[in-house]
A and B are shown apart, each in its own frame.
Chain A
Amino acid sequence: MKKTFSESDAKITRDLLPRPLDKLGVLWVVVLVCVCGLGLFAYIQQIMNGLCVTSMRDYASWGIYISNFVFFVAISLVGSLITAVLRLAGAHWCTPITRIAEIIAVSAITFAALIIIVDMGRPERFYNLFLHGRLQSPIIWDVLVISTYFIISCFLLYLPLLPDIKILIDETKHDPDKKMLHKLYCFMGSFWQGTDSQVKKCERGINMLCVTIVPVAFSIHTVTSWLFATTYRAGWDSSNFGAYFISGAFLVGSGAVLVATYVFRQIYHLEDYISDIHFDKMGRLVVMLAGLYAYFNVNEFLVPAFKMKKPEAEFLNSLFTGSFSSVFWFAITIGMIIPIIILVFPKGRKPVPSFIAGCMVVVGAWLKRYLIVTPTLLHPFLPMYDCPPEFKHYVPSWQEWSIAFGSLAGALLIITIFARIFPIVPIHETIHEAHEKHNEHK
């Protein structure tokens, strides 16, 4: 009996250990680095010349940087959903995807912070936020909650990693090729012995973090929604905004987890560990969340559309039938309606269709963030007059696109590098659960 255990343990370890990048992986990294490099080049141009290299002007004073920021904050919320909410709810099926969710959260929140600095007219004065920060400004609230969320997320990534690091240390001990990695693992977790008291402390720590991260996660996106909702503008002046943002955030995060889970499963051949069950459960979750988000969308658009107050009317008409209507209906359709239709059927919750639905959710969500920021700014209370004609439209410049895609590539790069160094599916927990299952069986 003992022998079969150790054999199956060794197989799990072998299957889940991080592996060097294959040719496709190297190509992927090279592409990501190039996109990041282009973004960096564009940012240097922006630093040299000012924000005039963007297409933002006095009316569209925020653009795709801010929508990208909202997108990143939104997608990062999934870490708290999968690791904390589902864990506290006792949903054990999510064990293999917790780390995927958590690394998405950490990389997304990192780039949310970076992109907001990119958007600043005077990034070198960032320290003023600490020197002269005023608590009454929602931006300060955002700075506080995002940094808190970042720290908690890092710990939620790190603590469950400790037992795996012990395994990694043992595995890389005698491999001269992996000397550097071995050193890194030792630095990160050589103190971990796996003793009962350590395990107990770690468990308690994770539980505490799971409880604290839920209100913090709600805060980050609610506060982000308040950056808009605390103003008077048509389309932003809404008491629905917090809930609307949170539901949308959980949806896009879950969509991203579906995509990432599928990709990792294909690349690392994790079919034994990430099975159809996971896609089935995640698919159900996405259907529920898409329904919830659709509900808040109805509230957000139908109620003001019923009244058609004058400032709102122009804004809403531009979304429903005007210049933004094609993007609007496209985002609604591929961000909510089609994913629900795909995932509501058991056949749609198989890996491939769920992957496609996940991609749709993510793309739809990005466009939705664009629609939250730009159309409102282009419908001010007073007419757009006495300004150069280009101020009345907003089409992002190549620098903005490069920086936006550079940041997205950067987030993917963090996830890729992480998966290269650490097991993306928790080894120790998988072994532990296999043992438990075996004992139950007996």
Chain B
Amino acid sequence: MSENSTSRKDFLAGLLTAGLALAGCTTKSNPFEGLSGEGGPTGKKVKLLSVDGEIVEMDSSCLKPLPEIPPVDNDQERVGIPGKKFIMVIDLARCGAVKNCQKVCNSTHQLHGGQNWIHVYPMKEADNASPFWQPTNCMHCDAPPCVKVCPVDATFKREDGIVLIDNTRCIGCRFCMAACPYSARIFNWNKPEISEAEACKPYSCESSTPQKVGTVGKCDFCPDMSRKSKLPHCVTACPNGVYFFGDLNEDSVTNGAETFRFSELIKDKAGYRLMEELGTHPRVYYLPPVTRNFPFEKGLPAGEKVELG
């Protein structure tokens, strides 16, 4: 029953979006402009699905934009999405340091001033080994050192495997940053560079926005997108399909274009995790950089030489 109602809701939402897209095709840039219902009927009809399952037509002036409110409350955000065990696979053979992942991540999560949740590191395993690019975000460890040390439960581990931060509770002690061996955490030293309207929006741990000064931030695996059955922004933004995201319970990961059985992918391509010896049990797996798609130098900024870690 509940599944049924969900799909109906999805259908409704889909129709609504379609309607809005139609409205967006007009010369007006804002589809809601002048449609607040106060201006009277516009004469433009939009098809909608009623609660009884009938397709009805209504005047577009009756449509109102929904304010962006988080779909679940803080308590549910702390529990996670039921039945899921999120997992990520990063294929190092495909990465050419295009950094579209970083750009889209920064813009959706309101990061500024050169700070990144996704770092793309130039790495080299041994002296005579050849270098490669390694995108690194939060590992969403199953034994997260950051969660262990947080004095106020502001960073927490959810049942779906995601480690999140509640920026309305974080006291800014930065112990988690010292504890994280992956340098995944950043701190909002400055006031976030966002508009007043953005800053006033309701806060959600799942979208990690609006950013709050004096608190810690990091990759959140985009659970707000997962709630909408969409992939995290970095996954969809990557032109080379480096990132695979999925669910361990379903044993599948996808980069949008290709879908693999997770266990087989890890077995066939000898997947591994970063700093396994520390016992943090990351949820992000790496596929070794064999038969690379791009030469390493292609990812270097013009004229730059890097020291390899």
Contact = CB atoms under 8 A, between A and B. Distances in A.
Interface of A: 49-52, 54, 56-59, 61-62, 119-123, 125-126, 128-129, 131-134, 136-140, 143, 227-228, 230-233, 236, 377, 380-388, 391
A129 B190 contact: no
A231 B178 CA distance: 7
Given A381-B181, A382-B136, A121 B150 contact: no
Contact of A120 (B123, B148, B154, B172): B172
Contacts of A383: 121-123, 307-309
B161 to A, nearest CB: 20
Between B113, B178, B215, the greatest number of chain A beta carbons within 10 A of the residue's beta carbon is seen for: B178
A170 to B, nearest CB: 49
Given A52-B189, A57-B187, A58-B187, 10 more contacts: A51-B172, A121-B214, A122-B170, A132-B154, A134-B150, A134-B152, A137-B150, A138-B149, A139-B173, A382-B182
29 contacts: A51-B172, A52-B190, A56-B189, A62-B178, A119-B173, A121-B172, A121-B213, A122-B172, A125-B169, A125-B171, A128-B154, A129-B152, A132-B153, A133-B151, A133-B152, A134-B151, A134-B153, A137-B175, A227-B178, A230-B149, A232-B145, A380-B183, A381-B181, A383-B123, A385-B119, A385-B306, A387-B114, A387-B115, A388-B113
SS class, residues of chain B in contact with chain A = loop
Nearest to B116: A386
SS class, residues of chain A in contact with chain B = loop
Given A50-B191, A137-B149, A385 B122 contact: yes
Interface in B159-187: 169-175, 177-179, 181-183, 185-187
B226 interface: no
Contacts of B278: 232
Given A121-B173, A230-B179, A383-B122, A50 B149 contact: no
A387 B216 CA distance: 16
A122 B151 CA distance: 13
Contacts of A232: 145, 179, 181, 278
| Residues of B in contact with A, size category | 35 or more
Contacts of B60: none
B145 A381 contact: no
Interface of B: 102, 113-116, 119-123, 136, 145, 148-154, 169-175, 177-179, 181-183, 185-191, 213-216, 275, 278, 306-309
7 nearest CB pairs, A to B: A121-B172, A121-B214, A383-B309, A388-B114, A139-B151, A137-B151, A52-B189
A134 to B, nearest CB: 5
Given A56-B189, A387-B116, A382 B309 contact: yes
B213 A50 contact: yes
Contacts of A391: 114
Between B120, B154, B179, the greatest number of chain A beta carbons within 10 A of the residue's beta carbon is seen for: B179
A317 to B, nearest CB: 14
A120 B171 contact: yes
B178 A377 contact: yes
B189 A139 contact: no
B173 to A, nearest CB: 6
A121 B187 contact: yes
Contacts of B154: 128, 132
A230 B147 CA distance: 12
Contacts of A227: 175, 178
Given A50-B188, A139-B173, A382 B183 contact: yes
B111 to A, nearest CB: 11
Contacts of B153: 132, 134
Given A133-B151, A382-B121, A383-B309, A122 B177 contact: no
A129 B307 contact: no
A59 B173 contact: no
Given A139-B149, A231-B145, A377-B178, A126 B171 contact: yes
Nearest to A50: B213
B190 A50 contact: yes
Contact of B191 (A49, A132, A380): A49
A17 to B, nearest CB: 45
A231 B152 contact: no
Contacts of B169: 125, 128, 132
A233 B278 CA distance: 11
B214 A140 contact: no
A231 B144 CA distance: 11
Contacts of A56: 189
A236 B180 CA distance: 13
B188 A121 contact: yes
B118 to A, nearest CB: 8
A129 B151 contact: yes
Nearest to B184: A382
Given A134-B152, A137-B150, A61 B177 contact: yes
B183 A59 contact: yes
A55 to B, nearest CB: 10
B189 A386 contact: no
A382 B119 contact: yes
A57 B173 CA distance: 13
A383 B182 CA distance: 10
A58 B186 contact: yes
B309 A385 contact: yes
Contacts of A121: 170-174, 187-188, 213-216
A56 B174 CA distance: 11
Nearest to A48: B191
A137 B178 contact: no
